[in-house]
Structure 1
């Protein structure tokens, strides 16, 4: 960077034929930012993002269809031309002031979305084609002080991040991919105003105590412009939450720390949860006044590095009340969100990177690094279940893989070349229905990556995935009870053997 102005821009194009029928995708993205330093302490930066995407949707299959012919599309997806097309624009500006003792950031943004979602339609489920345009306005104000308190190191953070979204939606019958009669027309105005305060006080050189709180106000104003009289679904609700936090961090050394946190979280339902089409001959876009979900969470962990090791490890348990869970019908259509009175989320998140070898072919020199061989691993345990639910007892919450493991062995040369195998594993089956009667299977996917990268100039990569051509479900649409759902078309097959490549040039 020369002078007070710096700029960055990137343009990317993605054209994908798709492993399955009716799964082509075309995406174009432009990102740019321009910064201006008014002084050594003050900087202003402007951001621009443009995105245009056209994505065909192949729909879900039954489990037997996925295992026999995973590349097939759901016949209705082709007949009704299921797809999503959207364009969005995001403009943002941020002013930053930084000194040795304080940091102050103030920013604003505008996000515009124009979306057309062609989906399933029948006389008993009238969602069909949905057209959405929305304007999203927001800002953030964040202040950080590092001034000492009572002669000890202290970090105080205060901020607020208001956001307003005005979304207009209209649904039509899907007549073989073309819009028919209107089935719903509405407007949703969403407000979220979180304000937060946190203080990190060092009671000793290596031990700090964190205490803080978040106050969040939300409003959901739904305006139904289609249904009249008693059927009109217009509704207004304004949930709010207060979320305290208490924790501690022990810095074992400059590179390693251990931590513990106890905090409350709060999430107001979105319009995607509040408004869904009902099923039946009188199918309408119905508003369900859901409660906000909240949870108490305790987390303990460590992160750091030692010699050739880098790691992160955290264990957590959350006690949820009124958790927001989505349900789908046997065709994979979203038929509504429900509040679960009590549920528990607990698990482990772990990662470990080990530098196995250094200076294999090229030793480190003063003007360049040596080569290296590293093993990067991650493991996640997701133990999410109902807590004495009147319908599901202590069953697992459906749709969430339980044991997930990923690993990559990578050789990196001193001149930008890299190559190595990798594996992605879902180590156990997991339920696709909350009754826990039907399951998606375990799988292991073998891959290989190679390429050449450089900070400036030419870069190229090749990414080979699922080399053994495994048949597996990359995602599923959760249903309540598979025993009452014949031919549930809720499995979305993952890609078979695939090869991806790309080139880039930077300067």
Structure 2
């Protein structure tokens, strides 16, 4: 069983149904907020301990309180016997007032689809700006995982839309690049899913939204537990297996325009101490533009075993593959004439992702929890086509093929110890220490491929690749610690430290061609071979404090340092549009944030933060002197400041608390001022950082009843630049230029009927807005990548479970 955060954290309501016989033999059932019985939970009274069975039931002799309920990742609760609170609970003292506070928070956040992570949860400390997106109750286009709807309530996020099927997710926060969420430490159930955590942290794999329970986003000092990234942690949490049935089956089938079809099928169950689940997802479609057909398949299998009341183990395997025809980019003029056109028909992209992970959780004693996770990945991505400027026609002939193969393994262990500063203290503090070992092996090949039109991912000369052949071995040892102190009933202080030992190497060759400017004949060829190795030892610190301003609110301040290594793609990928600076350096910086979040009254929730982010040696794109090409280099030092604000108000419940219908409106607003403050090129100083939309505004209205809900939302992004010169006019090849402001509306509805069925429908881009979010320098462009027009979809879900 997985006592995961989304079900068993302090933000979740536990119902404990207890009955008492004359012999003081207590019987009861422990369930979560969805009335799902909790198997394997420890119940203790004095020296007696029992485990709940598969139905969540327990029976224990208990003449005096307290009755303690706890598990491997459960923040301890206890039931008060006969209205009397015993003075010395075994695990953690919680008064009835505190339990009530947890229940009230859970009830109020239940319909908002969003909340925040408790300070201590399992083997995790979460402080500063953090968000828990409850995807299970979300509406919207789940099959195509529309990121505008998924992240609608997280302020400060800029989103790239590279496809309309949710295949690749591009998200960046606080002025950071959205490119494949590379500025986040992306994980699934706590382990890495990006291509290479050190040198290529881009994520080509995104878990199906239909399989998710929640998404954790942790920023601030607590993010140092997971890595050095500027954006912090983005952790996709998959649903747990059902505990009340040996077999539950769910099928979701979706259809939409542009030939879209998606199916998601999942089985799960609990048999004795074993739990299991498996799912399969298929998504196919023709796409919004010609030459944009795709086929994606995902599979996942998990089996878990509860060894005893203190130990459990879980094994997971993830498989994803997709093949996508790429229509290429457009020039500014072509986009204005017809954003649905395509002038590339020989470009293809293929990805294969395999991840194996093993989890072990142990309660070493009543105060100390251990988690060990080991993982390995064997994955690949292939780009095939013509890389030339989009304002030139594809001349035919051989195409360019770039392959990347990723092999990495890692193991991470963390121990969390709860303790009290004084015996009289109500709240427990916590100390976390952990270590991580990671080893990666990436190979990049670039050369000539077939002259056909299809997805033929084969080199013409595999024994002598024409452009480049490189391997990038890497090794990382990290040690991290965090501590949170509760000082009194309102004040907390936290401090963290992370030490990184990074070794990265490169070995291989690339060819340099001297081309005649008029005839394009090859005048000379030079083969450059090199091997290099670089070792860094990087200490990073973070600290913060929080003060409880009310029963359901708190203010906080946080600071942490950040670091990001140069990507492999920044070092050696030949691109006719781009030149890479041979002296390019790693990026570094720090983030400071001040915020307040909580409830005002019963049904008004707010989360407001102000931040300042220093970004040293920021890598970006700029024109190369005396050349039509652009150079990828360290533009300079940037400074991003901004304000983020999210509010949601249930105005029906506020005036009629007993109403069966709720209706909430939310507003998500952010303003970001991001500029270069120093640079070797003086003309860049004062320029706006590329791909930063200064003003982002989202708002939505949701109306819900017992079995139904409907919502509509709008998303606005102000204009942004694609290069450090802040060029407003698009270049001839459309690689640089302004990204105009845009506004998009989405509508969705859901209805559950006859217990087993659920019907979903909606319209994305309701107003059929014509817009784009990025200008690509290479694949899947180059040039402007138009976003999808109006999209209509429908989904039918059927769920059935076998009774025990």
Report the TM-score range of the alignment, normalised by the length of the smaller protein: 0.7 to 0.9
Number of equivalences: 482
Counterpart of 1:299?
A: 593
Correspondence 1:434 to 2:700? no
Out of 245, 255, 276, the position equivalent to 1:7 is: 276
Kept in 2, the 8 Å contact 1:276–1:335? The answer is no
Counterpart of 1:164?
A: 439
Describe the shift of the 1:327–1:27 C-alpha distance in structure 2 as closer, same or farther (beyond 3 A).
farther
Kept in 2, the 8 Å contact 1:82–1:118? The answer is yes
Describe the shift of the 1:269–1:388 C-alpha distance in structure 2 as closer, same or farther (beyond 3 A).
closer
1:337-356 per-residue CA deviation (whole Å, 9 max, x = no partner) reads 42233111222222222112
Q: Cα offset for 1:391?
A: 3.4
What is the distance in 1 between the residues matched to 2:445 and 2:695?
A: 40
Counterpart of 1:147?
A: 419
Out of 596, 608, 617, the position equivalent to 1:313 is: 608
Counterpart of 2:639?
A: 344
Counterpart of 2:304?
A: 35
Out of 363, 374, 378, the position equivalent to 2:668 is: 378
* 3-state SS of 1:108 partner: strand
Q: Is the radius of gyration larger for structure 1 or structure 2?
A: 2
Bigger shift: residues 209-218 or 430-439: 430-439
What is the distance in 1 between the residues matched to 2:623 and 2:777?
A: 6
Kept in 2, the 8 Å contact 1:278–1:335? The answer is no
Counterpart of 1:410?
A: 702
Describe the shift of the 1:304–1:31 C-alpha distance in structure 2 as closer, same or farther (beyond 3 A).
farther
Q: Cα offset for 1:477?
A: 3.2
Kept in 1, the 8 Å contact 2:616–2:636? The answer is yes
Q: Cα offset for 1:335?
A: 6.6
Describe the shift of the 1:314–1:241 C-alpha distance in structure 2 as closer, same or farther (beyond 3 A).
same
Counterpart of 1:421?
A: 712
Describe the shift of the 1:323–1:501 C-alpha distance in structure 2 as closer, same or farther (beyond 3 A).
same
What is the distance in 1 between the residues matched to 2:551 and 2:622?
A: 47
Q: Cα offset for 1:336?
A: 5.9
Kept in 2, the 8 Å contact 1:361–1:371? The answer is no
Counterpart of 1:482?
A: none
Show the 5 A alignment for 1:4-403: 4-73=273-342, 75=343, 77-78=344-345, 81-98=346-363, 100-121=366-387, 128-151=400-423, 153-174=428-449, 175-177=451-453, 179-181=459-461, 182=465, 183-224=467-508, 231-277=528-574, 279=576, 288=582, 290-306=584-600, 307-326=602-621, 337-358=632-653, 370-389=660-679, 390-403=682-695
Correspondence 1:477 to 2:776? yes
Kept in 2, the 8 Å contact 1:66–1:471? The answer is no
What is the distance in 2 between the residues matched to 1:455 and 1:48?
A: 34
Q: Cα offset for 1:250?
A: 1.0
What is the distance in 2 between the residues matched to 1:402 and 1:455?
A: 47
What is the distance in 1 between the residues matched to 2:593 and 2:655?
A: 40
Q: Cα offset for 1:293?
A: 1.1
Describe the shift of the 1:489–1:188 C-alpha distance in structure 2 as closer, same or farther (beyond 3 A).
closer
What is the distance in 1 between the residues matched to 2:446 and 2:698?
A: 41
What is the distance in 2 between the residues matched to 1:346 and 1:456?
A: 49
Counterpart of 1:495?
A: 788
Q: CA RMSD in A?
A: 3.2
1:188-246 per-residue CA deviation (whole Å, 9 max, x = no partner) reads 11223332111111232210111121111222211105669972132211223211112
Kept in 2, the 8 Å contact 1:327–1:478? The answer is no
What is the distance in 2 between the residues matched to 1:12 and 1:289?
A: 44
Q: Cα offset for 1:324?
A: 2.6
What is the distance in 2 between the residues matched to 1:231 and 1:47?
A: 43
1:280-324 per-residue CA deviation (whole Å, 9 max, x = no partner) reads 9xx99x784532211122111122223102222211101221123
What is the distance in 2 between the residues matched to 1:293 and 1:95?
A: 35
Counterpart of 1:367?
A: none
Bigger shift: residues 42-51 or 153-162: 153-162
What is the distance in 1 between the residues matched to 2:630 and 2:404?
A: 19
Q: Cα offset for 1:109?
A: 0.6
Counterpart of 1:484?
A: none
Describe the shift of the 1:278–1:171 C-alpha distance in structure 2 as closer, same or farther (beyond 3 A).
closer
What is the distance in 1 between the residues matched to 2:293 and 2:666?
A: 32
Describe the shift of the 1:191–1:447 C-alpha distance in structure 2 as closer, same or farther (beyond 3 A).
same
Describe the shift of the 1:288–1:122 C-alpha distance in structure 2 as closer, same or farther (beyond 3 A).
same
Q: Cα offset for 1:361?
A: 11
* 3-state SS of 1:276 partner: coil
Describe the shift of the 1:102–1:109 C-alpha distance in structure 2 as closer, same or farther (beyond 3 A).
same
Q: Cα offset for 1:437?
A: 2.4
Using CA pairs under 8 Å that are at least 6 residues apart, name the structure with larger relative contact order, 1 or 2. Answer: 2
TM-score w.r.t. the length of structure 2 is 0.56
What is the distance in 1 between the residues matched to 2:302 and 2:476?
A: 27
Kept in 1, the 8 Å contact 2:470–2:507? The answer is yes
1:442-462 per-residue CA deviation (whole Å, 9 max, x = no partner) reads 121122101235998333322
Describe the shift of the 1:458–1:7 C-alpha distance in structure 2 as closer, same or farther (beyond 3 A).
farther
